[in-house]
Amino acid sequence: MLQYFMPTRVIMGEDSIKKNPSVFSEMGKKALIVTGKSSAKKNGSLDDVIEVLSKNGQSWSIYDKVMSNPTVECVYEGASHARAEEVDYVIGIGGGSPMDAAKAIAMLACQDITEDQLFSGNYGKEVLPMIFVPTTAGTGSEVTSASVLTHHKQKTKIGISSPVLFPDVAFLDAKYMDDLPRDVTVNTVIDALSHSVEGMLSVRANPLTDALASVSIRMIASCFEALKKFDLSRKDRENLLYASTLAGMVISSTGTVAVHAMGYSLTYFKNMDHGRANGVLLAEFLRFIEEHLPDKVEQILSYMGMKNVDEFKDLLDELLGLKEEITLDEINMYTEITMPKHNIKNTIVEPKKEDIFNIYKSSLC
Ligand code: NAP
Ligand code: ZN
């Protein structure tokens, strides 16, 4: 049985925010703008949103304290802000961190959910409407129903997920990425690539998600040379943004698999950016899958115009540069943390404990 659900309205193109003011006025009188500390103020996205709200005669309040890898504490603080300001809807602007925080804030502003219940998956239907403006091309959070939060008590990152968390509207405008630095660009592109590759290696993959993933992987691969030189045109930026949204549509159905489960410990304990954490593991994960399903891996590599996993690993090594050091004790600890994660069981070939250990080891030792 084939199932696919995508309720988010996607509006793509240059100046798409300014050309669609009614999308904002239809949401209510007052917005909570959820964003990170500084980039939205510099890349034009916040200015465009405020210009539209002002022209529409709408009011807004800004919550701009979202850090990278947002914490549980941050989303409760944002939700208190939303309640105090009595907002009607949420506008999330930024990379995956502000967008993920915005989703949790939109739900916590309407429902009394304790911290213990937050990861239970049992939520009511009440949520503030959401408009999202991605300013990185990587997470696809603008079209997924997941919000990934840092949970200090469990020393890891965990996703909350519910159909009510799908944003209502996503505006895709690559002009906000003109000055995205090299490291954020590379890490986020690799995150998007990882989403499409993992989506194809999920037990929930289907012909529709595979079709989206294949286009996404090909589009990302068409930018590999420009990425290596870090000489990206606006058209490349548009292709990467489109590809990352397609990859988000893939994982909204398939979920992510072992790579994301493993990457969370590298982010939590080694402070590695999310996309980088996936990138350092992806090639060795493909090698593990290849042992069981060589045709599947050959197909994925062919979308990138590559003949073998070594070629792919060379590319990732070139893009990611010198890797962080990791000890065997650390690998043992991360393996223990990774094994119970639901993305492990979601992997087309379910890795055993020693497989997870070996992927970490061959990737980072
Ligand atoms: P991010 O943490 O949102 O942003 C990384 C850095 O880039 C921040 O310093 C940010 O500035 C800056 N930045 C953002 N846009 C910029 C722009 N246009 N120009 C210049 N700088 C810019 O990174 P991300 O990789 O996009 O998101 C990672 C998060 O998303 C992780 O928490 C990950 O777990 C989550 N994620 C969620 C999903 C999902 O389905 N929900 C999927 C994958 C990943 P500011 O400090 O100003 O924000
Ligand atoms: Zn990701």
User: Is any ligand 1 atom within 6 A of the Cβ of residue 141?
Assistant: yes
Q: Which sequence spans correspond to the domains of the chain?
A: 9-176, 181-364
- Tell me the ligand closest to 188's alpha carbon: 1
Contact 103, 92 (CB under 8 A): yes
For ligand 1, atom 7, the nearest C-alpha belongs to 184
> d(Cα 42, Cα 24) in Å, to the nearest integer?
22
**pLDDT at residue 3 in the model:** 87
- Tell me the ligand closest to 179's alpha carbon: 1
For ligand 1, atom 12, the nearest C-alpha belongs to 39
Contact 267, 149 (CB under 8 A): no
User: What is the H or E stretch that residue 170 is in?
Assistant: strand 169-172
**pLDDT at residue 343 in the model:** 96
For ligand 1, atom 17, the nearest C-alpha belongs to 180
User: Is any ligand 1 atom within 6 A of the Cβ of residue 185?
Assistant: no
The DSSP bridge partners found for residue 346 are none
- Tell me the ligand closest to 67's alpha carbon: 1
> Which mutation among 105, 148, 202 tests ligand 1's pocket best, with the greatest number of atoms within 8 A of CB?
148
Q: What angle do CA 194, 200, 205 make, to 5 degrees?
A: 130
> Which mutation among 41, 68, 177, 346 tests ligand 1's pocket best, with the greatest number of atoms within 8 A of CB?
68
CB atoms within 10 A of CB 293: 13
Q: Does domain 181-364 sit in CATH 1.20.1090.10?
A: yes
Tell me whether strands 30-36 and 59-66 are parallel, antiparallel or unpaired.
parallel
Topology of the domain covering 9-176: Rossmann fold (3.40.50)
Ligand 1: nearest atom to the Cα of 252: 40
Ligand 1: nearest atom to the Cα of 181: 20
User: Is any ligand 1 atom within 6 A of the Cβ of residue 45?
Assistant: no
> d(Cα 365, Cα 210) in Å, to the nearest integer?
33
**pLDDT at residue 1 in the model:** 78
> Which mutation among 6, 41, 100 tests ligand 1's pocket best, with the greatest number of atoms within 8 A of CB?
100
Token pair in block for residue 157: 């990152």
User: Is any ligand 1 atom within 6 A of the Cβ of residue 343?
Assistant: no
Measured in Å, residue 116 CA sits from the centre of ligand 1 at 26
> Which mutation among 97, 141, 232 tests ligand 1's pocket best, with the greatest number of atoms within 8 A of CB?
97
Measured in Å, residue 36 CA sits from the centre of ligand 1 at 9
User: Is any ligand 1 atom within 6 A of the Cβ of residue 36?
Assistant: yes
SS (H, E, C) 208-251: HHHHHHHHHHHHHHCCHHHHHHCCCCHHHHHHHHHHHHHHHHHH
**pLDDT at residue 131 in the model:** 99
> d(Cα 262, Cα 245) in Å, to the nearest integer?
23
pLDDT tens digits, the chain, 365 residues: what are they?
788 999 999 999 999 999 999 999 999 999 999 999 999 999 999 999 999 999 999 999 999 999 999 999 999 999 999 999 999 999 999 999 999 999 999 999 999 999 999 999 889 999 999 999 999 999 999 999 999 999 998 889 999 999 999 999 999 999 999 999 999 999 999 999 999 999 999 999 999 999 999 999 999 999 999 999 999 999 999 999 999 999 999 999 999 999 999 999 999 999 999 999 999 999 999 999 999 999 999 999 999 999 999 999 999 999 999 999 899 999 999 999 999 999 999 999 999 999 999 999 999 99
Contact 146, 100 (CB under 8 A): yes
Contact 105, 91 (CB under 8 A): no
The tokens 């939590």 sit on which residue? 268
